[in-house]
Amino acid sequence: MSDTAVFLPGSTIGVMGSGQLGRMFAIAARRMGYRVHTFSPEKNTPTGQVADLEVSAAYEDESAVRAFAEGLDVLTFEFENIPVQSIQWAAESCVVRPSGRVLHVCQHRLREKEFLRAAGLPLPEFVEVHSAVALREAVGRLGTPSVLKTAAFGYDGKGQRKITADSDLAEVWSGFEGQAAVLEAWVPFEREISVLVARSISGETAVYPVCENAHANHVLDLTLVPARISEAQAQEARHLAERAASALELVGLLAVEMFLLPNGSILINEMAPRPHNSGHFSFDASVTSQFEQQLRAVCGLPLGAPDLLCPAAMANLLGDVWSGGEPDWAAAAALPFVKIHLYGKAQPRLGRKMGHLVGLGGSLEEAAARVCEARRRLQRL
């Protein structure tokens, strides 16, 4: 099928993966009249609960993947840890957007960093590491502190280890043995920021306001939009995100995580070719949410306006919030400018993303105060 094919409402869209990102994508798609099928190894998933069809099978099950793809017009994905082979099987029966090439680059830290470097985009210095000896040499080159990361299957701080002058490198490597890894130079950033950019089949782009992100235990805790940075810095961040999307020849949505340094320069940290946790504010505070934008891009429709309607703050709800029992939803709902989003996960666990809150306000400070107060009210102390 043509790379420029357009899929109008009534078409069937497949989602590889079945978590909360797919859930919110499916909500946006069904609102616009599309049918949604989801594929993952799990059952009764966040996406499956709102999709028209939930298929539960292993990503490596070729016959199941091919049968799934035959019922679709276009396929997209909601996370990167999917075998590229699965996408290639699907691509024989339906259009896949973004392409398997984009997935191949972004699901592997080393490939991603080499791609960014080849594209002339700024990023922290890094060294490939494949053995304890190579780790020692890399630390000698980059110094300490530095960060060792697995090349694949890492997110929310998983597969990472900070290295200091006192670290036992043999002990550190024992946790990475048998895996490709990347040692990154430590970045003394001033702020962590991210930019969402959508790119259409014609190369049109729509770039969202810069997000300012605060993490706790390597997991996103709070996002503020617009970020508290200068207009020149915001323009540069948005420009870098557009350059990355163009270099990838992306059709879809790309989240670009970045570091803002004290001298005002910006380095790219990681990319994700799908909706992103830091973009959840857009469901309530943007003309077009990141999920509708992903839908528009992969279906070949014109992109929507990414404009912010008012300042917003997003606070993640981890399983920790349930530690004192069922959260006090009524207390949070009593704040009229706060929106509650839950993902349909039955079992709260420490560190597990269960939902999020979005606070809206006339100012960023007001939005942040509202969302933090709502999260505080949830916990029964």
How would DSSP label each residue in 276-299?
-GGGTTHHHHBSS-HHHHHHHHHH
Q: What is the pTM of this model?
A: 0.95
What domains are there in the chain, each with its CATH number? 12-96 (3.40.50.20), 125-185 (3.30.1490.20), 191-378 (3.30.470.20)
Each residue's pLDDT, cut to its tens digit, for the chain (381 residues) gives 568 999 999 999 999 999 999 999 999 999 999 999 999 999 999 999 999 999 999 999 999 999 999 999 999 999 998 999 999 999 999 999 999 999 999 999 999 999 999 999 999 999 999 999 999 999 999 999 999 999 886 665 568 899 999 999 999 999 888 888 999 999 999 999 999 999 999 999 999 999 999 999 889 999 999 999 999 999 999 999 999 999 999 999 999 999 999 999 999 999 999 999 999 999 999 999 999 999 999 999 999 999 999 999 999 999 999 998 999 999 999 999 999 999 999 999 999 999 999 999 999 999 999 999 999 999 876
| Distance set, CA 213 to CA 195, 219, 314 (Å) | 11, 10, 9
Q: Residue 376: which region, alpha, beta or left (left: phi > 0; alpha: psi -120 to 50)?
A: alpha
Which residue matches tokens 């680059």? 105
- Residue of 292, 276, 288, 201 whose CA lies nearest to 9: 292
Longest Cα–Cα distance of the chain, Å, equals 60
Kindly report the backbone phi and psi dihedral angles of residue 147, in degrees, each rounded to the nearest multiple of 5, phi listed first. Answer: -130, 125
Dig out the tokens for 262 from the structure.
């004290």
Long-range contacts of 65-68 (CB under 8 A, 24+ apart): 65/39, 65/89, 65/90, 66/90, 66/92, 66/93, 68/14, 68/37, 68/39
CB 278 within 8 A of CB 316: no
Task: Work out the angle at residue 107's Cα, subtended by the Cα atoms of residues 106 and 112, and round it to the nearest 5 degrees.
Answer: 40
Interstrand relation of 95-96 and 338-342 (parallel, antiparallel or unpaired): unpaired
Q: What is the spatial distance between Cα 204 and Cα 252, in angstroms, rounded to a whole number?
A: 11
**Which tokens belong to 302?**
């014109």
d(CA 381, CA 377): 9
- Computed over every residue of the chain, the mean pLDDT equals 96
Bridging pattern class, strands 252-260 and 338-342: unpaired
